[in-house]
Structure 1
Amino acid sequence: MTFLQELQQQRWDDHRYYHHNRINQTLHLLSACCFVLSYVLVFINPVIAVLVGWLLAMTLRQTGHFFFEPQTYDEVNQATHDYKESVKVGYNLFRKVVLYAFFVGMPALLIISPDFFGLLTAHQDFYGIINNVAIVWLLVGIGAVLFRTIHLFFIMGIQSGLVWATKILTDPFHDIKIYHKAPYFWAKGEMYDDMSDWYEDTPQETVTHS
């Protein structure tokens, strides 16, 4: 596959396996808007950008996955939850739990070492502490993307790793595009996406797992 074809496939697999619930899709829409805002804020106030990204965008996004997305047998795709977890290119639910453990635990290290073992300037005022927490969270986010990208280089190939990194960075814009009608369907009482439109519009060669 070309780069763009694989990007389309990874996006398709992620959508059809992990975004059936309309509430989950709606939360992804809100999360995407927050991420786009954080992309803008990073050039104005990086600290606020990181806080918006982690506390709002990521929390909304993962709330949808953990609390609203069904984890039973997937009749639409004829796949078990365990199977979907095993073929997930990026961070599956187990990996996300580990990632969030780092998210919660890393700032706690600032209590032990306010200067983060000499890497930061120790602060006593509120803004300074929040600034250091934001820097630590930014490092966690960058580290998570780099770690999984490099890991994919070895298990799937360099292109697959670069495709996944591109997908992650552009997901907010893509989510707004594909989930902007989710609140409308939810309001109508359609709680689950049957993926019929997607299967009709998606080329068959992309209807495979990554």
Structure 2
Amino acid sequence: MNNVNAFLETLRIQRWDDHRYYHHSRVNQSLHLISAISFLVAYAMVFSDPATAALIAWLVSMVTRQAGHFFFEPKGYDEINQATHEHKEAIKVGYNLQRKVVLMAIWALSPLLLVQEPALFGLLEPHQDWQGFVHNVGLLWFMVGVAGLVFRMLQLFVTQGVVAGLAWVTKILTDPFHDIKLYHKAPLHLLRGEWMDPGHRAH
């Protein structure tokens, strides 16, 4: 029971820190809402068509999600949380902006591997036309996504412990549901001209 309680408390803290440190902008929150909805569509398709699910997840969900962080979230001193951007990046449990740049670069460049190695070293059936290429790109991106999750989880196992790693993976996989709960009103706030969320002080 103590392990379960530790896991749930770690998950709660990770979710709260992610929200209060990295989701001040209502534009970012609105983009996260779009991302979350499209992720749920990808979840619904993952067992029947993993290639299409991965294409949706990366091209819609991840692009909107990361655009919110890179282009709309403030990078200056966080007055609400009394923390510098550098401090927040240093203590970020998952992928901070620097790690995200690496991950997104791997994602964007990975289709070039299929040009050189269409069978992906025997893992895929080589494409015969552009539709087959797109399908294989989807499967490759599915592998990139899984590898990104597993890689960071294992890093956290080593640096912060098994509980932290398992909590982070759980957080990532359940973020679409949690984001819809948190940010479903963000577009309405934007229509009212409210660009920043004033409520981050509330636990």
2:110 counterpart SS class: helix
Q: For 1:175 and 1:6, how far apart are their aligned partners in 2? A: 18
The Cα of 1:104 is off from its aligned counterpart by 1.1
Q: For 2:51 and 2:9, how far apart are their aligned partners in 1? A: 36
Q: How many residues align?
A: 199
Give the letter for the 2:163 counterpart: Q
The Cα of 1:112 is off from its aligned counterpart by 1.0
Give the letter for the 2:161 counterpart: G
Partner of 1:28: 32
Which shifted more, 110-119 or 15-24?
110-119
User: Unaligned stretches of 5+ in structure 1?
Assistant: 203-210
Partner of 1:158: 162
Percent identical pairs in the alignment equals 54
Q: Deviations over 1:177-200 (max 9, x none)?
A: 00001011111111001225xx33
2:126 counterpart SS class: coil
Q: For 2:58 and 2:182, how far apart are their aligned partners in 1? A: 22
The Cα of 1:28 is off from its aligned counterpart by 0.1
The Cα of 1:106 is off from its aligned counterpart by 1.3
1:40 counterpart SS class: helix
Instruction: State yes or no: 1:124 paired with 2:149.
Output: no
Which shifted more, 171-180 or 110-119?
110-119
**RMSD, matched Cα:** 1.1
Instruction: State yes or no: 1:85 paired with 2:79.
Output: no
Instruction: State yes or no: 1:173 paired with 2:177.
Output: yes
Q: For 2:99 and 2:77, how far apart are their aligned partners in 1? A: 20
State whether residues 38 and 52 of structure 1, in contact with CA within 8 Å, keep that contact through their aligned partners in structure 2: yes
Q: For 1:167 and 1:55, how far apart are their aligned partners in 2? A: 21
Partner of 1:113: 117
Q: For 2:46 and 2:141, how far apart are their aligned partners in 1? A: 14
State whether residues 103 and 140 of structure 1, in contact with CA within 8 Å, keep that contact through their aligned partners in structure 2: yes
The Cα of 1:118 is off from its aligned counterpart by 2.4
The Cα of 1:127 is off from its aligned counterpart by 2.1
Which shifted more, 112-121 or 181-190?
112-121
1:2 counterpart SS class: helix
Q: Deviations over 1:137-161 (max 9, x none)?
A: 0110000000000100010000000
* TM value normalised by structure 2: 0.95
Partner of 2:57: 53
State whether residues 157 and 163 of structure 2, in contact with CA within 8 Å, keep that contact through their aligned partners in structure 1: yes
Q: For 2:58 and 2:95, how far apart are their aligned partners in 1? A: 16
The Cα of 1:43 is off from its aligned counterpart by 2.9
Runs of 4+ in structure 1 over 3 Å off: none
State whether residues 76 and 195 of structure 1, in contact with CA within 8 Å, keep that contact through their aligned partners in structure 2: no
Q: For 1:146 and 1:26, how far apart are their aligned partners in 2? A: 28
